[in-house]
């Protein structure tokens, strides 16, 4: 049988089943066999003969011209032997049909306490194993050039930077240009996400909140900025 295979959606599915010789022993009986007795079973159904072609006296092929994800699963090569009430199994092959890397959904970032930039995304369904990695694009003095910084802490569908990661969290920039790249055996897809930095910061709670002045018609409160923010004047104005 053709080895397990991964196919691009819309491509041809071709499975070959070969017999080792022209006789088999089954239930203590010997039967003569040939390629005309070969059938293919998928999802508890047998393929029609118009999908099967004999390529030698002991080998046959299953041909599906445009495979889709509905064709994912286990394929069984069986023998139709006259006089038997069931079909002996010859071999099995597993097929996965999927796509090139597709755009993700639900991409979002949050800066927790101005100390940890965490970005995550939801990959689209794809039977073909696909990996995604996020990078930070940094423009240089020349507007036509940029540097790419890798992820500090990467998981399957997220990336995180902190002051202690390599590279560290760039907490002084106004905007991030983040490049998310998906890759599998069929191709590569890259997306660029522009993230407004200050709009995603979730600061820590203010410190030392207390009333400064209380009257019958107003109250004035004062407080100190949360940790890690007091040195950033631009961010203080936003808060």
Q: Is 87 domain-assigned?
A: yes
Find out whether 117 and 99 touch, Cβ atoms under 8 Å: no
Q: Are residues 10 and 61 in the same domain?
A: yes
Helix and strand numbers (H, E) in the chain are 1, 21
Q: Is 30 domain-assigned?
A: yes
CA distance 213 to 197: 35
In this prediction, residues 106-121 reach a mean pLDDT of 94
Q: Are residues 93 and 118 in the same domain?
A: no
Boundary residue ending a domain (69, 98, 127): 98
In this prediction, residues 90-94 reach a mean pLDDT of 95
Q: Is 59 domain-assigned?
A: yes
Domain of 86: which CATH number?
2.60.40.10
Q: Is the pLDDT of residue 182 over 90?
A: yes
Q: Which of 137, 208, 205, 212 is nearest to 175 (CA)?
A: 137
* For the chain, percent of residues with pLDDT exceeding 90: 65
Q: Are residues 11 and 84 in the same domain?
A: yes
In this prediction, residues 62-91 reach a mean pLDDT of 92
Q: Is 219 domain-assigned?
A: no
pLDDT band at 237 (very low <50, low <70, confident <90, very high): low
Please state the length of the chain.
Answer: 239
Q: Are residues 113 and 91 in the same domain?
A: no
Q: Is 179 domain-assigned?
A: yes
Q: Are residues 37 and 122 in the same domain?
A: no
Q: Is 11 domain-assigned?
A: yes
CA distance 163 to 43: 53
Q: Are residues 141 and 173 in the same domain?
A: yes
Q: Are residues 183 and 130 in the same domain?
A: yes
Q: Can you give the pLDDT at residue 239?
A: 47
Helix (H, G, I), strand (E, B) or coil at 49: helix
Q: Are residues 72 and 145 in the same domain?
A: no
Q: Is the pLDDT of residue 89 over 50?
A: yes
Q: Are residues 92 and 112 in the same domain?
A: no
In this prediction, residues 226-233 reach a mean pLDDT of 57
Number of domains in the chain: 2
Q: Are residues 86 and 125 in the same domain?
A: no
Phi, psi (degrees; rounded to nearest 5) at 51: -95, -5
Q: Are residues 154 and 172 in the same domain?
A: yes
Range of the domain at 85: 5-98
Find out whether 178 and 193 touch, Cβ atoms under 8 Å: yes
Q: What is the DSSP letter of 66?
A: S
Boundary residue ending a domain (98, 131, 160): 98
Q: Is 216 domain-assigned?
A: no
Report if pTM > 0.85: no
Q: Is the pLDDT of residue 217 over 80?
A: yes
Boundary residue ending a domain (72, 98, 124): 98
Q: Is 218 domain-assigned?
A: no
pLDDT band at 233 (very low <50, low <70, confident <90, very high): low
Q: Which range, of 116-130, 140-154, 170-184, averages the lowest pLDDT?
A: 140-154
Q: Are residues 109 and 194 in the same domain?
A: yes
Q: Which residue has the higher pLDDT, 155 or 146?
A: 155
CA distance 148 to 152: 12
């Amino acid at each position: 049988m053709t080895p397990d295979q991964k196919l691009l959606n819309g491509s041809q599915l071709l499975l070959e089943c070969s017999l080792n010789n022209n006789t088999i022993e089954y239930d203590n009986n010997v039967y003569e066999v040939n390629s005309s007795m070969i059938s293919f079973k998928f999802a508890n159904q047998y393929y029609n003969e118009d999908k099967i072609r004999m390529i030698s006296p002991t080998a046959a092929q299953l041909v599906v011209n445009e495979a889709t994800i509905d064709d994912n699963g286990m394929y069984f090569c069986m023998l139709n032997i006259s006089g038997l009430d069931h079909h002996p199994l010859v071999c099995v092959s597993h097929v996965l049909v999927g796509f090139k890397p597709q755009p993700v959904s639900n991409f979002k970032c949050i800066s927790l306490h101005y100390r940890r930039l965490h970005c995550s995304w939801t990959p689209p369904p794809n039977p073909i194993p696909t990996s995604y990695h996020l990078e930070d694009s940094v423009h240089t003095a020349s507007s036509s050039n940029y540097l790419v910084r890798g992820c500090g802490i990467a998981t399957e569908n997220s990336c995180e930077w902190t002051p202690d990661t390599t590279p560290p969290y760039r907490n002084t920039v106004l905007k991030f240009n983040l490049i998310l790249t998906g890759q599998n055996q069929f191709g590569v897809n890259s997306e660029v996400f522009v993230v407004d930095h200050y709009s995603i910061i979730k600061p820590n709670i203010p410190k030392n909140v207390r009333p400064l002045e209380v009257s019958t018609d107003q109250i004035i409160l004062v407080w100190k900025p949360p940790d890690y923010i007091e040195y950033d004047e631009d961010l203080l104005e936003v808060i």
